[in-house]
Structure 1
Amino acid sequence: MNAWIKTLSAVTLTATGLGLFAGSALAQGTASLADKQAQRVDNRQERQSDRITQGVASGQLTVREQARLEQRQRHINRLEHRTEADGKVTAKEAVRMEHAQDRASHQIRRQKHDRQQRGG
């Protein structure tokens, strides 16, 4: 009887250990996904900021257009900070961030190609 209890205990400990290992791997995968989303948002924000800077340098953006586009970028940065404040980014929040960035990207393109030239 004593050997049977030892075997049962060993099997239970092994199963528990495997469950904990799988759970930690899943948690790491989820954290990694959130980190990748945050990095993707940051990279896109940087690229959009570079596009605005390039538009100013080339004269494709007027002072007013630049101010509005930069204001939109600040809005997206605030949205990102609010989204990440609780430490968890939901799918709905990620979609909202992406949609805001899509709108900003579209606006940057429209303003750069609207044939208005920076005075000076």
Structure 2
Amino acid sequence: MNFRHFLAAAALAAVSGASFGQVAPTPAMPSVEPAPRGTHTPVIDKQEHNQQNRIQAGKQSGELTRHEARRLHAEQKAVDRAQKKAAADGSVSTQERRRIRHLQNRADKDIYRQKHDGASKPVAPSVPAHPAPVQ
């Protein structure tokens, strides 16, 4: 009989302990449950935005030639296609996210290499190379 009382008390404690910490969320206390991941990729989107800005800044500063910028933009489009393909089924899996991040990391390295390779956009001379003869 003591064993039954012990089991009943243990079961009651387990049930009451599990429900003790549950409180209904109020407007002041939002739900803590994580939202389903789905196709929401904020980290990937932020890195993509930063890469676009770096390419644009490289074009404006002359660190990237037109050819380099076009190639980097094409690489960004490939990352976009991979992201759209991953999201096509309504969810981006962990493996798909890992592949997209890998492509973005490679693009990051390519942007850095191209911006620091010494090739620069030719600057138009402000003074003609051969001034006209003065008469």
Regarding TM over 0.5, the answer is yes
- In 2, distance between residues paired with 1:115 and 1:57? 15
- In 2, distance between residues paired with 1:95 and 1:32? 14
* Match runs of 1:1-120 below 5 Å: 29-32=34-37, 35=40, 38-120=41-123
- In 2, distance between residues paired with 1:81 and 1:34? 9
- In 1, distance between residues paired with 2:36 and 2:51? 26
Q: CA deviation at 1:30?
A: 4.9
Q: Percentage identity across aligned positions?
A: 32
Q: Which runs of 4+ in 1 moved over 3 A?
A: none
Which residue of structure 2 lines up, in the alignment, with residue 11 of structure 1? none
> Higher Cα Rg: structure 1 or 2?
2
Count of paired positions: 95
Which residue of structure 2 lines up, in the alignment, with residue 7 of structure 1? none
- In 1, distance between residues paired with 2:37 and 2:97? 15
Aligned-CA RMSD value: 2.3
Q: CA deviation at 1:119?
A: 1.7
Amino acid at match of 1:119: P
Query: Relative to total residues, which structure has the larger helix share, 1 or 2?
Result: 1
- In 2, distance between residues paired with 1:78 and 1:47? 18
| Higher RCO (Cα < 8 Å, 6 or more apart) | 1
- In 1, distance between residues paired with 2:39 and 2:79? 17
Q: CA deviation at 1:91?
A: 1.3
Q: CA deviation at 1:65?
A: 0.2
Q: CA deviation at 1:55?
A: 0.2
Q: Aligned in 2, Cα 1:92/1:84: closer, same or farther, shift over 3 Å?
A: same
Q: CA deviation at 1:39?
A: 1.2
Amino acid at match of 2:36: A
